[in-house]
Chains A and B, each alone.
Chain A
Amino acid sequence: MSWQATDFETAAKLGALLAKEYGRAMFELLVTYQDLAASEAASRLNLHIRTAQDYLDALVVSGIVAKTEVHEGKRPYFRYALAAREIAVQLDLGDLVTRPPGDDLARCIRERAGSGADFIPARGDNLISSVSYWTDDGGDDAAPGRGARARKQRRLNLTTPQGAFLFHLPFPDADPLPVSEIMRQAGVDAGLAPEILDLVTVLVEAGAVEERG
């Protein structure tokens, strides 16, 4: 029987389980034994019983391993057996971007006045190489209702198309322009719209760029 992961989150959880240093040894046991208890696996692999039990339970949740409650004259316990001998991961990474870029290319944007963002120009080129902005980082523990006080500076290193795009971003007192028009002025290919829109979203959320109209 085979087990398949077709969405990113499931594949990520599986990856995390397989990456454990005792992961391979645990799967070797599961393949070798018809079934086994967590205590048996723990003693065999020299692990703490709780570690082995958590790992096996995580595999049960994912559906790769099945567990059965058994009674052998003492208090009941669980035995674990492999439910699938083959694991397949198949992801279409295009599914990660759910929104078509066409919707957002009409957003009119410009730099936000007094945002405190620092646009660092590339040396000797008509590009912005990186942008730094301040982010709120947690609130004031002594006065929770008074909003965030601790701030952190974040720096985004930009790709070349993103740098050209930001170089042509309208100034704070200029009329906002659609993203598509700024891309045209910057000579950025329309096929690169997703990475431009990703940047725009980040900078709008950070308050470095504002959306109008």
Chain B
Amino acid sequence: MYVMRRLKPDGPWPGLAIPFAAISLFLALRVTGGEALAYSGLGLVMLGYAGYTLVSYACTRNSAILVVFFYQLCAGLMILTGPAAGRRGGSDALPISRLLAVLVLGFLVWLVVLAASKRGKWRGRDLLELAAQSVAETAVEGYTSRPRPVGKVDVTPRELRDFAEFARRELIALPRHEPHRVVLVSVLTGREPGYVLGLRKNLDEETWVAIDDAGNVSVHIAKRDYLLYREDLAFDELCVSFGQVFIEFLMLFQQGKSVRITDQLNAMPVGIFS
């Protein structure tokens, strides 16, 4: 399949923002308070980040995120029991810190493999790219904040629930279960803390696909996501296409071909950190 890049280039690796911030903090502490404080600070930051990652795992049940958690946990403990302790006058080569170092290396290799396969990547940008592939450019200002009904699917409540859990696990969308429908909220890398920490609750500002008990599918694309496209795309067509992507995903899921969903998303020209 020939794939076009329809989105504007992403910012400087939103997925790496927190690691870069941690390194900056480390350097700042080293200059102002010395090496012992810098390593202690870095270790605590890693443990704090691990705590957040654990919350993130509880929210998604994505196994790659669990690997990230163990990596961060081991790295934080390793820094605190190794370099930080050594610079406070203790030993920096305790057996426990050596074991943690080995574990950190192991998890790091595992992480690289997972990152390369995009297993722990939020799929918001991939979805926007995939939906826009067949959408034409337009000169008409077509954006509206209204949701768009895009069709109907044949699905049982049980299948819908299972699909929602699959979408959550694969980081395709975070489901919100309402009394008569499931809303699948698309999450872009870099914006996930707001969702994981439950800070983003207003659906009017999100891009989502809702499927109700009768199988009616409706789509809402947030203005800020629409503005991520390079060109002014035909908005009506884009909404239909976005909904069709989810309808197709649901059908593939029902047929037991979930791997095809991942293949389609992986084929999009989106970086592993974006």
Contact = CB atoms under 8 A, between A and B. Distances in A.
Interface of A: 111, 113-114, 118-119, 121, 123-126, 128, 166-174, 185
A169 B143 CA distance: 14
A172 B235 contact: yes
Interface stretch (B19-27, B34-42, B174-182): B174-182
Contacts of B32: none
Given A126-B212, A171-B236, A171-B239, A121 B149 contact: no
B131 to A, nearest CB: 15
Contact of A168 (B142, B149, B179, B235): B149
Nearest to B220: A121
The 3 closest A-B pairs by CB, nearest first: A173-B142, A174-B236, A171-B236
A156 B92 CA distance: 70
Interface in B116-153: 138, 140-149
B232 to A, nearest CB: 9
Q: Which of B142, B144, B145, B239 has its CB near the most chain A CB atoms (within 10 A)?
A: B144
Interface residues of B, number: 27
Contact of A172 (B140, B180, B212): B140
Contacts of B236: 170-174
Contacts of B181: 124-125
A171 B237 CA distance: 10
Contacts of B204: 121
B185 to A, nearest CB: 14
17 contacts: A113-B140, A113-B141, A119-B144, A121-B203, A124-B180, A126-B210, A166-B146, A167-B147, A171-B235, A172-B140, A172-B142, A172-B144, A172-B235, A173-B138, A173-B234, A173-B236, A173-B237
Given A124-B180, A125-B180, A126-B216, A171 B149 contact: no
Per DSSP, chain B at the interface is: mixed
A119 B148 contact: no
A209 to B, nearest CB: 11
Contacts of B144: 111, 119, 171-172
Nearest to A169: B146
A113 B142 contact: yes
Given A126-B216, A171-B239, A172-B235, A121 B141 contact: no
Contacts of B148: 171
Given A114-B141, A172-B235, A124 B179 contact: yes
B36 to A, nearest CB: 53
Nearest to B218: A126
B1 to A, nearest CB: 26
A164 to B, nearest CB: 10
